Structure 1
């Protein structure tokens, strides 16, 4: 489960960008550049974990957000909901728009961690089942 370890490392890196570089004051990050970097870093961590779960099927298909949503819809609707929230916060709000709310960033990172935990649990169960 190297992918989930790498995904967690990216979440930790995103937290580091926010705490060390984004200059938080009164619940607001002042350096938009590092908010954007943190958002993109955390979102790619989610994608790494999900790619491990979803495997190589449909390799020729472009892996757009819609592709991930379709795949997750058939697996677990609560996971789909978490993904939609993380996508909106980490990728769109933080990654592109540079949303400065520390509370919003915290929610996005929490959702990312829950997705990675879910994937790791699912992969562990699958491995145990196949042994």
Structure 2
């Protein structure tokens, strides 16, 4: 079996944890840090996108567990937030924070702030406890 086919066999929690670990690895090996700022925004954006993907995997699994056969994959952040709101307010707050820290500030704007990205990664780690 190839690495790709092995990854597809992982349970959702382990797959999301793998994405999160990949994001941390990208930051530590490629982004470079100096004075609490990342040196290479390209790799910060890549890591932020990978970590945000982990959050979406977590949310998909969480909603599958809650909705069962009625589950349909959300198509927008608004869909995710409205559906998560029905079940857990703390997870909703984590989702909103991760969306801002990793997707908007990290991925789209390409922040160099170590603190912002690390906070986003920690919030994704907390989200893992929900599945």
Contact 2:23 2:48 in 1 (8 A): yes
* Alpha-carbon distance in 2 for matches of 1:30, 1:43: 21
Superposed counterparts of 1:72-83, under 5 Å: 72-83=84-95
Tell me, in whole angstroms, the C-alpha distance in 2 between the residues paired with 1:97 and 1:57.
35
CA shift for structure 1 position 99: 0.6
Is residue 65 of structure 1 aligned with residue 77 of structure 2? yes
Residue number in structure 1 paired with 2:103:
91
Q: In structure 1, which of residues 107, 110, 113 is the aligned counterpart of residue 119 of structure 2?
A: 107
Q: C-alpha separation between the residues in 2 aligned to 1:57 and 1:99?
A: 38
Q: What is aligned with 1:30?
A: 39
Normalising by structure 1, what TM-score? Answer: 0.85
| RMSD value, Cα | 1.5
Segments of 4+ in structure 1 off by > 6 A? none
The question of 1:48 aligning with 2:57 is answered yes
Unaligned runs of 5+ in 2: 1-9
Q: 1:9, CA displacement in angstroms? A: 0.6
Contact 2:74 2:80 in 1 (8 A): no
Query: Counterpart of 2:27?
Result: 18
Q: Is the 8 A contact 2:20 2:50 kept in 1?
A: yes
- Structure 1: gaps of 5 or more residues: 121-131
TM-score, normalised to structure 2's length? 0.85
1:57 CA displacement: 3.0
Aligned length: 118
